[in-house]
Amino acid sequence: MGSRESVTGAEDASTRDAAMESFEEFQQNAVKAIEGDSRKLSSVKDGMAMFVDSKPGKRGERFRYVPVASLSSVADDLVNGAVEHSEYTGFVLPSRGYAEFTVRPSRSIPLRRYIERFNWVSDDAECGHGFIPSELTRPNGREVESNRIGFHVHSPKERACVELSRATATAMFLTDPWPFAAHYPENSLRVYTLKVFVEPSPDGASVFRQTTDVAARSIFELDIRNGIHFVLEPRERLRVSFEASPGVTSPKIRFPRLKPPREVAALFSFASEASDNPPFIFLSYYQVLESFLPMAHKQDAVKALRVALKDPHFDEGKNSSVLALLNSIERLKQASEEDQLKVLVRDFVREEKLKEFFDDADARHFAKKGPIVGIPEISFHPKSEPLSVQVAKRIYALRNRIVHAKDDPKYAPIPVLLPRSVEANNLQPDVALARVLATEALIHGQG
């Protein structure tokens, strides 16, 4: 899938017509295939052909670049059905059983520096794929250090291969709006991708599943066996933020009056640190709620027992009265986490705060056909359950989808909600709801 033409000295051209005129016929055909009906060649500069979306989207025109030397290979991949991966940055080409994923180090250092500091050693792959690791030589103190960069490994049993190597022109074209620098070998913006090869199949979904699975497993093993930390780049990354709105330029500060237990305050703050991982933020707020469950439950139990004791029919001399009391204590002791959460939301969260929240919230998100599957909707139908009960049920179900709580058989068949998935990227409204609940619980838990 590398470039199949020799690097030709393409002439600079400032218009499509001028560029096409300077191209040979096979290049003209490649350009037409790449253009399809959604983009147009606009110019050629320094050996890079620039394409512009012919119907600019919301964010305006998007530029994509193809080295002139790679026009045919990119056209070939597109004609054969290369499409962007729906969850991660990268693309899938089912008819060739191929997928390519952008990876990045989990720490904030440039990918190139992270990858090129290792001298990669891997099993020999006898699969027939041509793979030659890039050789990188640089002075290191007095010595000259030479690293082999990348790997290609093969499983005869799974009939699959994984490779770490420089990004292909097609990957750059489909996924990165500013890739032009990456195609010059010595440029500092060298980009590497993880490539997965499986059996070609007309079933696009199956190739999609298999390649994504192998990519995820590779990332996992690099971490667990080699201590090399990569993440697949999610296609869209939601940043959840509850920062003061841009209009607030003079925040009014007071001496802190709330006195939450330190560990609870730490959990609340931790949510703000995990800004690009919505399920994580949600769980941090959920843990704040969790820490108030025993308190809410105890207060509720004391209240219930007081009522029972004040009952004029309660007769401490009668066994049936004492047994009834014992039963209600047993019942309270056996309350599930979900029931305790219902009590917490009912007693610790002001109803008007919930109403306020849902007045401003996106109703479609919380409705039956919202983007997060398998969790109860919030309904404002007069016959629906009290808002506090609905909210508690939803929050509890969502928590179970994230931690995949097998302890509660009710939720066992529901798929886990993965961080950085499409659903995770849609989680903002539920995270906001959890934050409201956590804030209310902190206020009411002040004693």
Rank residues 125 and 308 by Cβ distance to Zn ion and give the closer one.
125
Report, in Å, the least distance between residue 154 CB and Zn ion.
Answer: 5
154 makes contact with Zn ion (CB under 5 A): yes
Report, in Å, the least distance between residue 165 CB and Zn ion.
Answer: 11
Query: Amino acid identity of 29?
Result: N
Is 435 within 8 Å of 242 (Cβ atoms)?
yes
Q: Where are the beta strands (DSSP E) in 156-197?
A: 160-166, 192-197
Binding-site member from 62, 129, 306, 331 for Zn ion (CB under 5 A): 129
Rank residues 84 and 213 by Cβ distance to Zn ion and give the closer one.
213
DSSP 3-state of 445:
coil
Stretch that binds Zn ion, among 113-121, 151-159, 263-271, 296-304 (CB under 5 A): 151-159
91 burial (CB, 10 Å; 0-12 / 13-18 / 19+) is buried
10 makes contact with Zn ion (CB under 5 A): no
Report, in Å, the least distance between residue 421 CB and Zn ion.
Answer: 28
Report, in Å, the least distance between residue 150 CB and Zn ion.
Answer: 13
Would you tell me the crossing angle of helices 387-403 and 337-348 to the nearest 10 degrees? 140
Rank residues 123 and 145 by Cβ distance to Zn ion and give the closer one.
123
- d(Cα 166, Cα 187) in Å, to the nearest integer? 12
Binding-site member from 50, 52, 127, 231 for Zn ion (CB under 5 A): 127
Stretch that binds Zn ion, among 4-12, 150-158, 167-175, 323-331 (CB under 5 A): 150-158
Give the CA diameter of the chain: 106
CA quadruple 47, 53, 56, 61: dihedral, nearest 10 = -10
153 makes contact with Zn ion (CB under 5 A): no
Please give the helix or strand (H or E) that residue 319 lies within, else none.
helix 319-333
- State the number of binding residues for Zn ion (CB under 5 A): 5
Residue in the block written with tokens 């950085």: 420
Q: Which residues pair with 262 in a beta bridge?
A: none
Rank residues 154 and 401 by Cβ distance to Zn ion and give the closer one.
154
Report, in Å, the least distance between residue 151 CB and Zn ion.
Answer: 11
Stretch that binds Zn ion, among 89-97, 99-107, 153-161, 406-414 (CB under 5 A): 153-161
Rank residues 160 and 283 by Cβ distance to Zn ion and give the closer one.
160
Stretch that binds Zn ion, among 66-74, 102-110, 148-156, 269-277 (CB under 5 A): 148-156
Other beta carbons within 10 angstroms of residue 14's beta carbon come to: 11
- d(Cα 271, Cα 239) in Å, to the nearest integer? 12
Is 386 within 8 Å of 396 (Cβ atoms)?
no
Report, in Å, the least distance between residue 125 CB and Zn ion.
Answer: 5
- d(Cα 447, Cα 443) in Å, to the nearest integer? 9
Is 193 within 8 Å of 101 (Cβ atoms)?
yes
HSE at residue 260, side-chain half, CA atoms within 13 A, is: 19
Stretch that binds Zn ion, among 152-160, 235-243, 314-322, 406-414 (CB under 5 A): 152-160
Stretch that binds Zn ion, among 146-154, 260-268, 383-391, 431-439 (CB under 5 A): 146-154
Report, in Å, the least distance between residue 161 CB and Zn ion.
Answer: 3
- The mark string for 106-125 relative to Zn ion (x by CB under 5 A, - otherwise) is -------------------x
Backbone phi, psi, residue 165, to 5°? -160, 180
Rank residues 163 and 430 by Cβ distance to Zn ion and give the closer one.
163
Name residues whose C-beta falls within 8 Å of residue 134's C-beta, 6 or more positions apart in sequence. Answer: 148, 149, 150, 165, 166
Binding-site member from 19, 161, 164, 281 for Zn ion (CB under 5 A): 161
Report, in Å, the least distance between residue 128 CB and Zn ion.
Answer: 7
Binding site for Zn ion (CB under 5 A): 125, 127, 129, 154, 161
